[in-house]
Structure 1
C-alpha cells in the first residue's frame, strides 16, 4: 500500500533528493520508483538490450545517490541530470561494443535546443498534453503507449487486455482526435514552415 502512495508523492525530485542527501530513506524509495523507469527507458532505446539497460539504469541511480549530499539545487533538474548520465553510460557501452577506445571515440553531438527552442517545445508539449487529456481514456492510453513510450501493438494489447486489432483501432481513433484538437494551432505551435 505504501508504495502506491509513494509513487504519487507530489514533492519535487529536487526536494526528495535533498531529503535523501540528509538521510531520508523514504525519499530514496520515492525517487527510485519515479526515476528508475526514465533511466531504463532511455538506455533501452539507445542500447536495444533490456539487460544492459537495467545495468545502465542501476548505475545511473547509484551515481544519483552518490551525488545527493552535494546536490546544488537550481543548477539542473534531477531528471535532466539523470537522463544525461544514462545517455552517457549507454553511449560508453555502445562505444565499447564497437571496439573503439573511449578516448578515440567521437563525442556525442550536442542537440539540445536553445532557449527559444525549449519554449517552443514546452508549448508543444502542453498543447499535446491538453489534447491527450481530452481523448477518451482507452484511446489516450493506446496513443501514449504506442507513440510516446514506443511500445509495439502486441505489447500494448497485452497491457490493455485487448486484441491487437483493438489497439490499432484505439490508436487510429486517438490520432484522429489529436489531429482534430490540434489542427487550428499549427502556426501558433511553430509548425507553419513544415
Structure 2
C-alpha cells in the first residue's frame, strides 16, 4: 500500500472506504476527518445532546473501521450510508434511554438576560426536546434533516431513501404532532400557569 498523501486527499469517499476495507488506517483517518463533524451534528440533533453525540460518534467510527469492508459503493453513496448508520445508532440509544423530565440546566438563569425571558426560552427548549423525543422516528428524522441540518426536501428524501412526497407528508405530520405535544405539555410545564 504505497499511496501518496495527495492520493488520499483527492480520493473519493468510496475509494477511501475501499482502501479502509483493505486495512489502510491512513485512508480511514481521512474518512474520520471528513465526516466527524457531520456525525456529531446529526447525532446531536437526533438525540438532543452534544455530549451523547460525541460519545456515540466515537463508537460509530470504531464500528465503521472494524466493518469498513462491508461498505459497497454500488448500493449507495457513502454519505447516505453513513447517515443511516448514525440515525440507526441514535434510534437504538433513544429506545434504551428513558425520557428525562427536565434537563439539568433547566434552573440556570443567565444573569445578562431578563430572567422571565430566560426561563421562558429554556422552558420552550426543554419542551421541544421532550416533544421531539415523543414523535415517531421517521418524522423526527425528516424534521432533523430539513430544519436541523437545513437540507432540502429532495436531499432529505435521498438520505432517507424515500420519495419527496413521503418526506413532505412526514414533515407535515411531524409538525402537527410536535404542536400537539407542545400544547399538551404547556400547562403542565409552566409553573406560572398554575
Q: TM-score, normalised by structure 1?
A: 0.47
TM-score, reference length from structure 2: 0.47
Larger proportion of helix: 2
Higher RCO (CA-CA < 8 Å; seq separation 6+): 2
